[in-house]
């Protein structure tokens, strides 16, 4: 008789209370959540680092994990439209937290121009001026419906060093969704992640809070290390595969001449490729960066005859070890790759 009661007693014991089952969208978010959960649990990642979050369609196993999750941390619809549809249709109610929508999240407007900086002049805009800019000063009238029907990017003046605003002020149509590459955003999100976990699992609230504080300190160290690594390449110009690095540029004062593809990773037009090829031939460009998630032949089409060094720069950190140390490792790894290529 006692043997038959034992499983029920164990299940009822507070010592065996379950930590929330958590899923995330991409590796950087998985890393942030893992750093807050610590030894209490491991969040599951839905979108492989080798896949583009812009176009990835969930596999049945990934959809089941989403359906069974107690909490879902993800960037938002702007980055992963298919995941947004799945969250609407199969996720449990009130489980999904869009980090892009959290108050205090820094937003930069998506850039549509082929060139972000003039080939012959350094971009000297003030990277400390973002918080003073009024969002209402942005021009929303030049929208190109045909080219950006899925992402609603604004075709306005692209001095985006001055565009920042708080989440919740407006619909995020036209904003660059790669917001995890802002170290300020990552630090802000850690607090929200700890709060959401604590609400579901109050017994471990102190652990979540302590882990979040330790993770913020580690990110601050990574930021300082990245600044030191990138100091010698301030003023250098780069070309990227798709416009995913604006928040990293903003955090560390880098200059990207242009991107082969827009921030939504749509296929570039022949005219865009021609314009970039012409710009490379007339500019002192330190490096062109490819990404492992996309076709490298487009890089060859732009760099042919230019002699510009090519290296891989991955905003998703496909080669890095997943887990609690992932995010600071990503920030430092990107700095090292940029500096190494620029030194060639």
Which residue(s) pair with 97 in the sheet? 73
Round to whole Å and give the CA distance between 223 and 120. 29
Indicate the DSSP class of residue 138: S
The tens digit of pLDDT for each residue in 159-203 reads: 333 333 333 333 346 899 999 999 999 999 999 999 999 999 999
* Direct distance between the N- and C-terminal alpha carbons of the chain, in angstroms, rounded to an integer: 75
User: What sign does the dihedral 152-106-326-91 (CA atoms) show?
Assistant: negative
| Residue pLDDT, tens place only, 18-30 | 899 999 999 999 9
Is residue 242 domain-resident? no
pLDDT at 300: 85
Residue 273 lies in a domain: no
Domain count, the chain: 1
Average pLDDT, integer, range 148-160 = 35
Evaluate whether residue 42 is within a structural domain: yes
pLDDT at 45: 97
How many Å is the maximal CA-CA distance in the chain?
A: 85
Q: Which helix (H) or strand (E) holds 290?
A: strand 287-290
Placement of tokens 């996309």 in the chain:
294
Q: Which residue has the higher pLDDT, 9 or 83?
A: 83
Helix axes 326-342, 27-37, angle to 10 degrees: 140
Tell me if 95 is assigned to some domain.
yes
State the CATH number of the domain containing residue 51: 3.40.50.1980
Whose tokens are 């082929």? That residue is: 114
Q: Is residue 195 part of a domain?
A: yes
* Tokens (6 digits) for 26: 């991409």
Residue 113 resides in a domain: no
Q: Is residue 74 part of a domain?
A: yes
- Would 75 be classed as within a structural domain? yes
- Residue 132 is predicted with a pLDDT of 38
Give dist(CA 275, CA 339) in Å, integer. 26
Domain that holds residue 86: 17-103+179-224
- Token pair recorded at residue 103: 């108050």
What pLDDT, on the 0 to 100 scale, is given for residue 170? Answer: 34
As a whole number, mean pLDDT of residues 48-71 equals 94
Alpha-carbon gap, residue 277 to 24, rounded angstroms? 38
The answer to whether the beta carbons of residues 264 and 151 sit under 8 Å apart is yes
């Amino acid at each position: 008789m006692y043997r038959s009661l034992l499983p029920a007693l164990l299940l009822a014991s507070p010592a065996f209370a379950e930590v929330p089952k958590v899923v995330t969208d991409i590796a950087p978010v998985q890393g942030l959540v893992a750093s807050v959960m610590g030894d209490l649990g491991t969040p599951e990642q839905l979108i492989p680092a080798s896949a583009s979050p812009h176009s990835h369609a969930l596999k049945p196993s990934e959809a089941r994990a989403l359906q069974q999750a107690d909490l879902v941390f993800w960037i938002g619809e702007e980055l992963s439209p298919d995941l947004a549809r799945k969250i609407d249709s199969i996720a449990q109610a009130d489980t999904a937290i869009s980090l892009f929508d959290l108050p205090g999240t820094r937003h930069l407007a998506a850039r549509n121009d082929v060139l972000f900086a003039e080939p012959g002049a350094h971009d000297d805009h003030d990277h400390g001026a973002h918080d003073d800019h009024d969002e209402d000063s942005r021009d929303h009238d030049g929208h190109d419906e045909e080219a950006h029907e899925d992402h609603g990017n604004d075709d306005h003046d692209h001095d985006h060093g001055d565009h920042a605003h708080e989440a919740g002020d407006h619909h995020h149509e036209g904003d660059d969704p790669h917001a995890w590459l802002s170290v300020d955003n990552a630090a802000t999100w850690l607090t929200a992640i700890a709060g959401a976990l604590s609400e579901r699992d109050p017994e471990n609230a102190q652990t979540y809070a302590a882990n979040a504080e330790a993770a913020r300190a580690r990110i601050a160290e990574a930021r300082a290390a990245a600044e030191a690594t990138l100091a010698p390449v301030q003023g250098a110009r780069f070309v990227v595969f798709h416009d995913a690095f604006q928040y990293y540029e903003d955090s560390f004062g880098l200059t990207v001449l242009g991107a082969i593809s827009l921030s939504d990773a749509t296929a570039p037009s022949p005219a865009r490729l021609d314009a970039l090829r012409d710009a490379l031939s007339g500019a002192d460009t330190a490096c062109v960066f490819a990404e492992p998630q996309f076709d490298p032949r487009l890089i060859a089409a732009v760099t042919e005859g230019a002699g510009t060094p090519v290296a891989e720069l991955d905003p998703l950190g496909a080669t890095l070890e997943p887990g609690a140390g992932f995010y600071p490792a990503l920030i430092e790894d990107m700095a090292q790759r940029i500096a190494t290529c620029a030194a060639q």
